[in-house]
Chain A
């Protein structure tokens, strides 16, 4: 089973994403800010297969979190989706500069989010169907 980590300070958003990711067949863990997210990634063996990262968070924001991940050779390959409510081009550019695989605007359609998460983490559709059947 693939593992996903949600890093977002809003509990409701985490709950929303968790539901989508679990239906798509992920095992989900959550963190409330970038710092806690780093702790979770470092503590996990093996590291998660996908990161869902919010930008504006207390203590450590999403950009700093992502830069820390991309700078660490053992973790740098983990695909990451950055999700924010900003749809400004400059925000997207900052996200890609920090190492995001994809920049999405919240809240996003559940079906599309699920599809994108599966593509990035390498879950074939047939595999997802099996997970659902269980």
Chain B
């Protein structure tokens, strides 16, 4: 569990930087020498710098090695070969995995140290071939991190920190021991090991993550993390943990621990550093027009310094030196002043007041809230502003209600006027509510880019593995849709693109024979179409052979030979969406895993969308996903059945008709009716839900809701039609989640719960 606010900030930032780096790297492969190299370098550089703030040395080392590699590329000492890009991408993946671990466990796994070693070697390999001296660039990165106090130590209660440090005759070490989950099977006893720590001052045991439910706990798995502070010899500690070196981190605590760093303590080192800085500034050889600025800056800094060290008695001397420097345009007088100041250090009576402490706040006090994996949404400022304005309006509208209540109480308004006033207010509140709904919806809108951005990498990796040349073209990534829709889109799209890569696009030699360019093209297009977002995956591959599909469908028993014969080509290719259909002749490791396009179809339909496919043999295939822009608000039609009310999603409703009972026909074992010259099968809601049969209306007519289920028209016999309304459908949860036939529930204005029917499940 991770409660360090700085780390909480770091994790999403690191993920962004990794994303950006990955994208730039792919762009760079396509267009070497483009601006992507700078972006890539900056992302990796920033990540390295920021990671240095934390005790995650292995991660910093890997990023650092990646930066050195890129540095060589940027300086033109190394060309970015595809193999090098592979290593970089894999290394970034590793860093991403560590960031996820950091998010969940608050620290890197014990194996990170050794993993980092091999990553550094891999990342440096292209460099060492070229130029041996690069090795020497590895600096003791994270030196400061090593000297820092680990978070868990800083989070200890103050009294315990002091008790540990009291009368320590040896240096103090902080030991963090994360035993391997399977350590018990190797005969290791973490608790015994911690007990044997020489000079043990403190020990702590905690679960690595929140305990699971009692019934799911596996007592043979070690789920603990052990901490200790010991006053001992480092060699002794290393010896004790010699069998589990990868699971233990031993960190020397700084000598001044646990006394918190005093802000502003003018220790001699800082003073020396500052004075040396001013010397270098004054001696610097930058552009001449900056010289006056540099002189002023140094003079100002020195003035601050003498004030800070309470040597204001030197103020006159400094003013004289500054004037001399200004008039001569040369730094000599100021340099002489610095020499004088360093030779005559401040009267150091300042250490006495240091121990004031007590206001030091441990970092990790605010435990409890689990933030792991919390879904965050990034929102443009303007969208939030729009929402804020509406809230303002709502507050005003709310105040008007109080005024109305007073009017009603005092009786100054008659019932008629009062009713009119209430209606006015209601319409105002209604408008604000609608606007707010729109504004919140806008907040949830994300560009499709969000899903598209993973494809360049995916296409690159797969096409390299398949030995195909593929160009991916992305269009309309800025099209926006609701976050849920975007998320629902990801898996089906990956499947479709993989299919295109694997089965659609031909190997270069076959393409050449067919007179096509050696490199195939996959287009990912997004566009908005009324209330839908339309995503197309277009490839220029071999297309789907309708004859092969017919054969396969007949062989699988989906249709009989006669049906296959009469099926037009464009309908035949759509058979790939039929459950259990798969045309792959050989099962490749990519998409031939027994899940076919039917999974794509059901995933898209679950999100309220539909799939289309067109294909021309030899020319390519286009798969089209049509999804609603938002899944939050659903228009439903309510239907009554006796006392009960049910909702049907409006997207499925074709029309409502009333038919005399006599108009029904029995067609084999099914009831049907004729609607404008076509025969439509009838289904009774009572039958579907196992309700008692509905009483026949006086006029002998039945209410039939004509719906479209899985592309087929159906008449659903209900009791009566009620209103259409916009509702927010809540999915069934808890024990009801397993209930089939219902898409969810919503609350009605009178407080009743309305069940929304899932006709696909009920009828299918």
Q: Tell me the A residues contacting B by CB distance below 8 Å.
A: 9-13, 15-16, 19-20, 23-25, 49, 54, 56-58, 67, 69-73, 76-80, 84-85, 87, 92-93, 96-103, 106-112, 114-116, 118-129, 132
Contact = CB atoms under 8 A, between A and B. Distances in A.
A107 B144 contact: yes
Contacts of B748: none
A118 B289 CA distance: 29
Given A19-B6, A85-B48, A108-B144, 15 more contacts: A12-B6, A56-B46, A70-B290, A71-B290, A72-B293, A80-B297, A97-B287, A106-B53, A107-B52, A112-B267, A112-B270, A116-B274, A118-B263, A118-B264, A124-B308
Contacts of A119: 266, 270-271, 274, 301, 304-305, 308-309
Interface stretch (B275-283, B419-427, B503-511): B275-283
Contacts of B656: none
A58 B42 contact: yes
Given A116-B273, A124-B307, A99 B264 contact: no
B13 A11 contact: yes
A10 B46 contact: yes
Given A69-B293, A122-B304, A109 B144 contact: yes
A97 B273 contact: no
Contact of A79 (B6, B46, B284, B304): B304
A128 B310 CA distance: 13
16 contacts: A9-B42, A11-B13, A20-B263, A56-B45, A58-B42, A76-B293, A79-B300, A85-B48, A99-B294, A100-B277, A107-B144, A112-B270, A115-B266, A116-B274, A121-B308, A125-B350
Interface in B119-161: 139, 144-145, 147-148
Nearest to B137: A88
A12 B297 contact: no
A125 B13 contact: no
Contacts of A11: 9, 13
B319 interface: no
Contacts of B356: 129, 132
A101 B301 contact: yes
Nearest to A20: B263
B695 interface: no
B261 to A, nearest CB: 3
Nearest to A79: B301
Interface residues of B, number: 61
Nearest to A109: B144
**Interface hub of B45, B285, B299, B310 (most chain A Cβ within 10 A):** B45
B329 interface: no
B52 A97 contact: no
Contact of A128 (B48, B263, B285, B297): B263
Interface in B349-367: 350, 353, 356, 359
B542 to A, nearest CB: 44
Contact of B264 (A69, A77, A97, A129): A129
B10 A102 contact: no
Contacts of A116: 270, 273-274
B298 A101 contact: yes
Contacts of A107: 49, 52-53, 144-145
A5 B495 CA distance: 49
B262 interface: yes
A122 B302 CA distance: 8
B479 interface: no
B281 A99 contact: yes
A84 B49 contact: yes
A17 to B, nearest CB: 10
B269 interface: yes
Nearest to B283: A96
Interface of B: 5-6, 9-10, 13, 42, 45-46, 48-50, 52-53, 139, 144-145, 147-148, 261-267, 269-271, 273-274, 277-278, 280-281, 283-287, 289-290, 292-294, 296-301, 303-305, 307-310, 350, 353, 356, 359
B264 A115 contact: yes
B296 A122 contact: no
A92 B281 CA distance: 10
B531 to A, nearest CB: 36
B601 to A, nearest CB: 42
A96 B266 contact: no
Given A114-B261, A118-B263, A10 B49 contact: yes
B144 A128 contact: no
A132 B359 contact: yes
A96 B280 contact: yes
B277 A24 contact: no
Contacts of A58: 42
Contact of B262 (A92, A99, A111, A124): A111
A9 B297 CA distance: 24
A124 B469 CA distance: 67
B310 to A, nearest CB: 6
Contacts of A123: 264, 304, 308
B261 A109 contact: yes
Nearest to A63: B286
Contact of A100 (B42, B281, B309): B281
A63 B144 CA distance: 25
A101 B6 contact: no
A89 to B, nearest CB: 11
A57 B46 CA distance: 9
Nearest to B5: A15
Contacts of A72: 293
Top 9 A-B residue pairs of the complex, sorted by shortest distance between their CB atoms: A122-B304, A111-B261, A70-B293, A128-B264, A97-B286, A76-B293, A102-B277, A77-B296, A77-B300
Contacts of B148: 109
A5 B52 CA distance: 21
B265 A111 contact: yes
B304 A121 contact: yes
Contacts of A25: 263-264
Contact of B53 (A13, A101, A103, A112): A13
B50 A12 contact: yes
Contact of B46 (A9, A92, A112): A9
Given A16-B6, A23-B263, A119-B309, A103 B277 contact: yes
Contacts of A129: 264, 353, 356
Contacts of B52: 85, 106-107
B304 A120 contact: yes
Contacts of B49: 10, 13, 54, 84-85, 106-107
A125 B267 CA distance: 10
A101 B261 contact: no
B308 A125 contact: yes
A99 B290 contact: yes
A120 B301 contact: yes
Contacts of A23: 263
A127 to B, nearest CB: 8
Given A12-B9, A77-B300, A102-B273, A118 B308 contact: yes
Contacts of B273: 102, 112, 116
Contacts of A54: 49
A112 B271 CA distance: 10
A130 B261 CA distance: 16
Contacts of A73: 292-293
A122 B307 contact: yes
A97 to B, nearest CB: 3
A131 to B, nearest CB: 8
Contacts of A57: 42
A12 B356 CA distance: 29
A106 B52 CA distance: 7
Contact of A77 (B286, B297, B309): B297
